[in-house]
Structure 1
Amino acid sequence: MSRSGADLALLMLGGFRSLVDDATTELARRGYEDVRPVHDFAMRAIAAGADNASALGRHLSVSKQAAAKTIAVLQERGYVARDTDPLDARRKRLQVTALGFEVLRQGEEIFDQLRDQWKRKIGATELEKLEAHLVTLVGASSIRFDTPGWLSRDLG
């Protein structure tokens, strides 16, 4: 049976969604019921240098206001903090807290476990082939922090 290009896109999105949903469920089971996928993207962007709402908004491809709301949630939950910039005492910089890094570490561990589940379902060789094909198709550096904004952008 031949599939359409749209079917391929939906299958790939379905694979992503399945992994993310399962990881979110497992994080909740481990006590992190308040973590959402966008929080992971935001914390990774902050750890990579997006140290204010404007920079985070650019990294996530969302408005400064949307980034500020995400920051407020992450601060309230203890995943990020605002610290005084050592070079400019008037400026406050965002930093991922130890708790935030623990959530990221737990998430990575969970994704490794989910990958192992997929390996058991289709076999190590087939999973390695799938990953190699995806690298060929989308490139080796497939991590994009702008996914939340890209998924929700208004094209109209």
Structure 2
Amino acid sequence: MATPDRPGFVLPLLLLAGFRTLIDDLHAELAHQGHPDLRPVHGFVLQAVGVAGTTAGELGQRLGVSKQAAGKTVDRLVALGYLERADDPADARRKLVRLTERGLDGLRRSAVVFDQLRDRWVATLGVDRVAALEDDLHRMTPAEVFRLDVPGWFGA
């Protein structure tokens, strides 16, 4: 039950602040490690492209944005060297968007940094509290916990 000292709107704001803190810390470290141009939305895009690649239209669907919005982000990530466009070997009419080695490096480094950030939370809060927080969030969120359509959901 919400109370005057803990109104209901505080919970989503704290969850968002925790997310923002982790993402800001991630991107500061990625910049330090040679990826200064990666932005939070780029992580969703790189994940949505995946190791098999995809088309701009499929990417837009996965992200919950228009094909044009996806194409604009792809253009930016191609210019930065994280993605490339290639002919689809199965259909010459289609162009695939694929991760480059730089894109894969960004994803690999992100995974390592997220582990380090979790370790930092454990050092501050304790292993049991972080595990309990994760367990509670698993219990309160749908099974499909990692959704790539966050950019579209936010209205990007």
- TM norm. shorter chain > 0.5: yes
Q: 1:146 to 1:48 in 2, by over 3 A?
A: farther
Unaligned runs of 5+ in 1: none
Paired residue type of 2:132: K
Paired residue type of 1:60: L
Paired residue type of 1:51: T
In structure 2, the residue matched to 1:33 is 36
In structure 2, the residue matched to 1:144 is 147
Cα distance in 2 for residues equivalent to 1:41 and 1:28 = 17
Paired residue type of 2:88: D
Task: Tell me the alpha carbon deviations over residues 19-73 of structure 1, each in whole angstroms, 9 at most, x when there is no partner.
Answer: 0011011101111110001111001101166612211111111121111110001
Give the superposition deviation at 1:141.
Answer: 3.5
In structure 1, the residue matched to 2:68 is 65
After the TM superposition, which of the residue ranges 50-59 and 35-44 deviates more from structure 2?
A: 50-59
- 1:7 is aligned to 2:13: no
Task: Tell me the alpha carbon deviations over residues 110-133 of structure 1, each in whole angstroms, 9 at most, x when there is no partner.
Answer: 111000000000000111100000
- 1:112 is aligned to 2:115: yes
Unaligned runs of 5+ in 2: none
Cα distance in 1 for residues equivalent to 2:143 and 2:114 = 18
Instruction: Calculate the TM-score normalised by the size of structure 2.
Output: 0.92
Instruction: Calculate the TM-score normalised by the size of structure 1.
Output: 0.92
In structure 2, the residue matched to 1:75 is 78
Task: Tell me the alpha carbon deviations over residues 100-156 of structure 1, each in whole angstroms, 9 at most, x when there is no partner.
Answer: 011001011111100000000000011110000000001443111001111126xxx
- 1:121 is aligned to 2:139: no
**How many residues are paired up?**
153
Percent identity, aligned pairs only, is 44
CA contact (8 A) 2:26 2:110 kept: yes
In structure 1, the residue matched to 2:54 is 51
CA contact (8 A) 1:81 1:96 kept: yes
What value does the CA root-mean-square deviation take over the aligned residues?
1.6
Cα distance in 1 for residues equivalent to 2:53 and 2:154 = 20
Give the superposition deviation at 1:89.
Answer: 2.2
Of 114, 133, 136, which residue of structure 1 is paired with 2:136? Answer: 133
Cα distance in 2 for residues equivalent to 1:24 and 1:147 = 18
CA contact (8 A) 1:50 1:59 kept: no
